[in-house]
């Protein structure tokens, strides 16, 4: 299962917090699959990638209740924790950087906290997509629920593509391979404009 975290509805569509949704949407487009399923309080699709069955899912429970949706999917399909990949935004990474991790804490991310609570473990792989920290003294809550700065948007499009690559590597070769290939890449831009 590849789960992208975010918030449903047009208000949140292009926000930093919805980068997980964007990754899942792009991979679905690449695979010519629409996430039209409505079970498990989510938009989802069951498909195949390089001979393996994969379940793409975007929880519709809002970020801080993502675990409810993911847990329902896991229970229904009997998915082992090591076969769940969660794609989410990360304030501690700069825009242009992705980190694939085997497990870890929530780092204050409410969606990941919800998953840890509902799955009963921190031992699930993740693709953490850097969104950086606020530049202009915005509160973190406002920052994550707003679009990327104009000078970041081109990089973000490349990063979403790289995150899809990370998901493919995870399915095809496992988390270690995805870590080795993706974690050394850096698309960060050095220029900062207002």
CB 186 within 8 A of CB 21: no
Burial class (CB in 10 A: 0-12, 13-18, 19+), 87: buried
Spatial CB neighbours of 170, under 8 Å, sequence gap ≥ 6: 2, 85, 100, 125, 127, 177, 178
Beta strands in 67-143 (DSSP E): 85-90, 98-101, 126-130
CA distance 190 to 194: 13
Q: Residue 101 to residues 85, 88, 182: CA-CA distances in angstroms?
A: 10, 12, 10
From 17, 88, 109, 118, active-site residue? 17
Catalytic residue status for 17: yes
And the tokens for 192?
A: 């900062």
Report the relative pairing of strands 126-130 and 85-90 from DSSP bridges.
Answer: parallel
**Residue 56 is inside which H or E element, if any?**
strand 52-59
Active site (catalytic) residues: 17
């Amino acid at each position: 299962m590849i789960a992208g975290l975010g918030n449903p509805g047009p208000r949140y569509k292009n926000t930093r917090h919805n980068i997980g949704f964007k990754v899942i949407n792009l991979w679905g487009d690449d695979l010519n699959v629409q996430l039209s399923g409505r079970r498990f309080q989510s938009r989802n699709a069951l498909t195949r990638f390089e001979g393996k069955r994969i379940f793409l899912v975007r929880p519709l429970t809002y970020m801080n209740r993502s675990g409810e949706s993911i847990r329902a999917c896991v229970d229904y399909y009997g998915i082992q924790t090591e076969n769940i990949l969660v794609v989410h935004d990360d304030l501690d990474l700069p825009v242009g950087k992705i980190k694939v991790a085997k497990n870890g804490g929530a780092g204050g991310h409410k969606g990941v906290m919800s998953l840890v609570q509902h799955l009963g473990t921190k031992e699930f792989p993740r693709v953490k997509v850097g969104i950086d920290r606020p530049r202009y003294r915005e509160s973190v809550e406002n920052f994550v629920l707003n679009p990327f700065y104009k000078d970041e948007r081109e990089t973000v499009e490349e990063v979403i593509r790289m995150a899809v690559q990370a998901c493919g590597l995870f399915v095809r070769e496992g988390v270690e391979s995805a870590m080795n290939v993706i974690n050394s890449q850096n698309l960060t831009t050095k220029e900062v404009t207002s």
